[in-house]
Amino acid sequence: MPATIAAALARCARVRLRALPLPALPLPALSLFALPLLAACGTAQAPAEPQVQKAWVRLPAVPGRPAAGYLTLVGGTGDATLVAVTTPAAARTELHETMKMDAPGAPDHAGHAAMAGMSGATTMRPLQALPILAGQTVKLAPGARHLMLFDMDAKVTPGASVPLRLELADGRTLETQAKAVAAGDAGVE
């Protein structure tokens, strides 16, 4: 019995001895332990810039009508404000919000009725700025806030990528590629 205890203690001591001299290891060996810790530190940080995800453009059913653009914005470490979106694939791009037709001051504007999913009870108006608060997600989605792309390049067909450049109030820009889908097709979820 004492022999087995002694053996266990000896095993234990060997384990402890192996674990203890860690600080005595040469620096390159220590850095092997430090690197994963540093990497974990890095990935735990939120991105400094807002991120653009799941961008897509619904092409008009009737050529010449505006296309609609949708995307998801994920706020960075600080607040930001989206003030403009541009693309070489359209003559002009506006940021819109959808509102009830009977809301005070709701203007009508060309192109509404042609949009899939828009009923006569809603209208849209240009939005001058869209806040992207730190860490928050902002969605541009059918029936809500969206982009309108006027005079789309006729060469943009379903499946094509539409480059979008988002301009923030502080001068930063974000770039993304939106997937073009046909008028009746599902978007990117």
For 5, the 3-state DSSP assignment is: helix
Residues 138-177 that bind Cu ion (CB under 5 A): 148
Count CB-CB contacts under 10 A for residue 130. 19
Number of residues that bind Cu ion (CB under 5 A): 3
**Binding of Cu ion at residue 67 (CB under 5 A)?**
no
Nearer Cβ to Cu ion (124/180): 124
**Binding of Cu ion at residue 57 (CB under 5 A)?**
no
Q: Are 58 and 67 in contact (CB under 8 A)?
A: yes
**Binding of Cu ion at residue 96 (CB under 5 A)?**
yes
Exposure string over 27-64, b if 16+ CB within 10 A, otherwise e = eeeeeeeeeeeeeeeeeeeeeebbebebbbbbbbeeee
Nearer Cβ to Cu ion (45/102): 102
Q: Nearest approach, Cβ of 94 to Cu ion (angstroms)?
A: 7
Q: Nearest approach, Cβ of 61 to Cu ion (angstroms)?
A: 15
Residue 46 vs residues 43, 52, 116: alpha-carbon distances, Å? 8, 14, 36
Of the residues 57, 124, 130, 132, which one makes contact with Cu ion according to CB under 5 A: 124
The residues binding Cu ion (CB under 5 A) are 96, 124, 148
